[in-house]
Chains A and B, each alone.
Chain A
Amino acid sequence: MNGEGSTSAPSLILRLMVGASMALLISLSLIAFAVDRGFRGAAESALQERLESVVFLILSTIELDEQGQPGVADSLAEPRLDQPGSGLYAGAVTPLGRWQSSSLVGVVTPPTQSLLPRNSEDFRGPGIGGEWYGYAIGLGWEQPDGEIIDLTIWAAEDPERLARTLAGFRGDLYRWLALAAALVIAAQLVILLLLMRPLRQVAQEVSDIEGGEKNALDGRYPKELQPLTANLNALLASERDNATHYRQALADLAHALKTPLAVLRTRLESERGGARPELEAALSDMDLMIRRQLERAARSTRRTLNQPVAIVPLTRRLADSLSRLYTEEQVRFEVTGDPTLTARIDERDLMELCGNLMDNAAKYGSGRVRIEVRTGAEGSRSPGVVILIEDDGEGIGAERFERLLKRGERGDERREGQGLGLSIALQLIEAYGGKLALTDSTLGGAGLQITFPPR
């Protein structure tokens, strides 16, 4: 009924956290990719502009001698071009010679540039057809004699510089994104815990209702949960009311059916010569049938959530009542056990089964009935319960006990007695997953042990 034995599904918080974290991870990865790409593009554009300005700086200072050999003033406005190994290089190429900046001194594999056609430009980089970032323009240089010589001016930069800038940027980007992710996940967890609080409250209240501490969910719940809690309360109230109404209807039905039977029986007995045996038997059959049907109908009034019933006080009440009924026989009832021990059984059912067995013990004993209530097998939520009912009569014997149980089941009992009481008790015990066993009585008579399983 409560899903015992089935594995529980992952918690809502875990599902939400895993789902939200995955979505966050994918979003942040896409953001990181886009930002990185954008930054790299912007950095390369800035580099190209820088190289262009270097090329135009060279162009503004370059001179070609009569042999067409290019040359540049000793000192340039860009100091990195004069500093060997600075990473920024420049040069000029004509078909007759070339010039290179001083920064190329000592460079093992310097960038090279071939002559470009006039009026063309070229930008290259490690990802775009080269190992260096380079920019070059091809133009025609008019000599004093009017001859036009092809001239290509180029500038290049070591890609390491851009790579370092990019690496620094990426480091910062990933750190900040990771921090943002951690903050978002923490915030999600807090929000989820806050959101789940009303659900945990519902679970707690349902557990309180099950434990008999409450009759309805009375906490303050958010608007979204109110339909659920209102429906649960309505369901609980309707179950309670239905059980009460149904029981009242059954009581009325019993009265309506049995009173005419009582009239018939008393009338038969009042007739001259007493009741005719065949009519008497038919009446007894009708009575038994009505009792059985009413008992069967009463079983359907059981509530889903049974509140725990303290067994010792209940058996003491029964013992007090039975003592009054057996005043002349002077039957003595002893009830022992922890008064706080409870069983989750409908109180009416527990009273019915204990009443039947205690009544039998009083009827068939010789004046002493002992009831012992003790804890049974341990369970995860609550332990089982054992109720032992003993008398000092002649005892039953295993075979007769089995026969009595079967006799009750077969329903051919004509007289209300041990069989019917036992059989009703057994049916009730089994309805709650319990067992009824015949044991030795410390008083010398019959001992009946009821065992209810742990929860």
Chain B
Amino acid sequence: MRILVIEDETELRELLGRALKKLGYAVDLIADGTDGQFYATEYPIDLAIVDLGLPGKSGMDIVREVRQRELSYPILVLTARSDWQDKVQALELGADDYVTKPFRLEEVIARVQALLRRSAGHAAPEVRFGPLEINLSSQVVRLQDAPLELTTFEYKVLEYFVLHPNQVVSKMELNDHLYDEDADPDSNVIEVLVGRLRKKLDPGTDWKPIETLRGRGYRFRVSED
């Protein structure tokens, strides 16, 4: 999943970026409002963390612009003011949640995970597809009730499939959402990752959730239990 962080305070931006990357998210870090709006509207973002007090364009302007362009990914607002009027204004413009500064990192992470989950239509962090059970909050994956060890990128691919079930996902899309702007992965990395994931999910059973659609990409074909 790709997360955009727009925060003008360098250290805070870097700390947030590091914490999110550690959890396996692709993170784009932007320092000012004008660039932030460009990224927020032109890049395939899964979630944006937007500070309200930004140089260039304000956070409110960015939220407004994103929603005006009918982009529906969740937006978490960081605000220094705890006034309800500011919170209500941000929420009415289209923000999904807010965190008041000075926040705890774990609080921001929890909100990010909840928003991503909710945007995929899951109310609880635990999602089950056939023999597969995945906790989107703790990132623990179990297959047939046994823990399944996945690398960070394998988990990221699986999480993306799980949050977009029964949808055609192109390699390009996976690439865009799993890697941030600075990364330049090999063209066959996605194929390798999907191949490894298939082996782990299908250790001799008939359950083959990842379909290959020639020339189009993949589809995670499941029925949610």
Where the two chains meet, the residues of A that have a C-beta atom closer than 8 Å to any C-beta of B are 250-252, 254-267, 269-270, 283, 287, 291, 294, 298, 317-318, 320-321, 324-325, 327-328, 347-348, 351-352, 354-356
Contact = CB atoms under 8 A, between A and B. Distances in A.
Interface stretch (B64-72, B99-107, B156-164): B99-107
Interface in B51-101: 51-53, 78, 80-88, 91-92, 96-98, 100-101
B9 interface: yes
A270 B88 contact: no
B89 to A, nearest CB: 9
B84 A356 contact: yes
Interface of B: 9, 11-12, 15-16, 18-19, 51-53, 78, 80-88, 91-92, 96-98, 100-106, 114, 118, 123
B102 A287 contact: yes
B84 A255 contact: no
Contacts of B9: 259-260, 262-263
Contact of B101 (A261, A270, A317, A324): A261
A259 B101 contact: yes
B102 A262 contact: yes
Given A266-B16, A355-B84, 19 more contacts: A251-B80, A251-B81, A252-B53, A254-B80, A254-B81, A260-B9, A262-B9, A263-B11, A266-B103, A266-B105, A269-B104, A318-B88, A321-B87, A321-B91, A324-B97, A348-B83, A351-B84, A352-B83, A355-B88
Contacts of A269: 104-106
Nearest to A270: B15
Contact of A351 (B18, B85, B101): B85
A252, A259, A347, A351 pick with most chain B CB within 10 angstroms = A259
Contact of B102 (A283, A327, A352, A355): A283
A250, A254, A267 pick with most chain B CB within 10 angstroms = A254
9 contacts: A251-B53, A251-B81, A254-B80, A262-B101, A263-B12, A269-B106, A298-B83, A318-B88, A354-B84
B10 to A, nearest CB: 9
Nearest to B9: A259
Contacts of B118: 327-328
Contacts of A267: 11, 15
B121 to A, nearest CB: 12
A265 B80 contact: no
A298 B86 CA distance: 13
Given A252-B53, A267-B15, A258 B84 contact: no
Given A270-B18, A325-B91, A262 B83 contact: no
A265 B84 contact: no
